[in-house]
Amino acid sequence: MIDITFYGVRGSTPCACDATARYGGNTSCVLVRVDGQDPIILDLGTGARYLGERLSKELGDQPFVGTALVSHLHWDHIQGLPFFSPLMREGASLQIVGPPQASGSLRAAVQAFVSPPLFPVDLGEIPATVDFVEQSNTTFALGAVTITSAEVAHCGVTNGYRIQNGSGSLAYLSDHQAPLDGSLGVPDSVIELCHGVDVLIHDAQYDLDEFDRKASWGHSTIDYAVAVAAASDVGRLVLFHHDPTHDDAWIDDAVAHARELADGRFEVLAAAEGLSLRSGDDQPV
């Protein structure tokens, strides 16, 4: 079984307020758990602070060991890293997998963000060991699961990920540029990454009017998220990377719209902080 729990579901910037209380205001961070295996974290947005609190409680005196699969380095996907409390103890270790950077190493790019003057503490001063692995368009084993990384269209180099074992599968495309002309064609590389997964977590930041104004901003419409799910024959689509200007009622309407488009071919729901899913099951747990 693969268990999936959402700790941050927003795109762009956090937006905690009453109007977003139900779906949540933290940026991208998803915990993936497989029995007998160290945690896998999808992105390190501001939700990572809350995930860190939970894991620290669970671990007690044990140091944290785990892997973060980072889609790309926009703020909303790494801002939680220095607030992830399990890293504040000696003996802990986090492996960060992410796409190679044109500007230099992945470590150097993250360190530029986690160091003065942008942050008071340098990444190198954090007590835990933080290792970086640059990966794109590869498949590798992590314990009992197979992970595939594939570059997807966005603003700047960005990975989508597929996680699979004998009992379940999911694909994670947090930030994904839909075709600029508003068409719904899905690249073969995306279909290959997502094909047949139990759970597809996909960018659904805009409606059609918003996309008209922001087509080149790197994101998908709800309609395009449905198109990717349909072309990839997935079991369940989870709308993700909600725009910070969208309140809970807007997202309710987006889910209703996506369900209409899906027309019963697969289940549709919206990511919400605290929501847990089990890959392969019919209902949220």
* Residues at the interface with Zn ion (CB under 5 A): 11, 74, 76, 175
CA distance 166 to 157: 30
Q: Of 98, 91, 30, which Cα lies nearest the Cα of 279?
A: 30
The C-alpha atoms of residue 278 and residue 285 are separated, in whole angstroms, by 7
Between 16 and 88, CB nearer to Zn ion: 16
Question: Structure tokens of 28?
Answer: 């991208």
Strand order in the sheet with 65-69: 129-134, 93-98, 65-69, 40-42, 29-34, 2-8, 276-278
Residue 8 CB, nearest distance to Zn ion (Å)?
A: 10
Residue 143 or 156 having the CB closest to Zn ion: 156
Closest CB to Zn ion among 11 and 52?
A: 11
Q: Is 255 exposed, middle or buried (0-12, 13-18, 19+ CB in 10 A)?
A: middle
Residue with Cβ nearer Zn ion (76 or 223) = 76
Q: Least CB distance from residue 99 to Zn ion, whole Å? A: 12
CA trace torsion 104, 105, 107, 112 (10° rounding) = 0
Both tokens of 26, joined, read 């933290």
Intra-chain end-to-end CA distance of the chain, in Å? 12
Report, in Å, the least distance between residue 112 CB and Zn ion.
17
**Which is closer to Zn ion, CB of 216 or CB of 283?**
216
Number of residue whose CB is nearest Zn ion:
74
Q: CB-wise, 42 or 51, nearer to Zn ion? A: 42
**Rounded least distance, CB 273 to Zn ion, Å:** 16
Q: Nearest approach, Cβ of 4 to Zn ion (angstroms)?
A: 18
Q: Nearest approach, Cβ of 72 to Zn ion (angstroms)?
A: 6
Task: Extract the runs of DSSP E, i.e. beta strands, from the chain.
Answer: 2-8, 29-34, 40-42, 65-69, 93-98, 129-134, 138-142, 145-151, 159-165, 168-173, 199-203, 236-240, 267-270, 276-278
The least distance separating Zn ion from the CB of residue 237, rounded to whole angstroms, comes to: 18
| Cβ-based nearer residue to Zn ion, 11 or 235 | 11
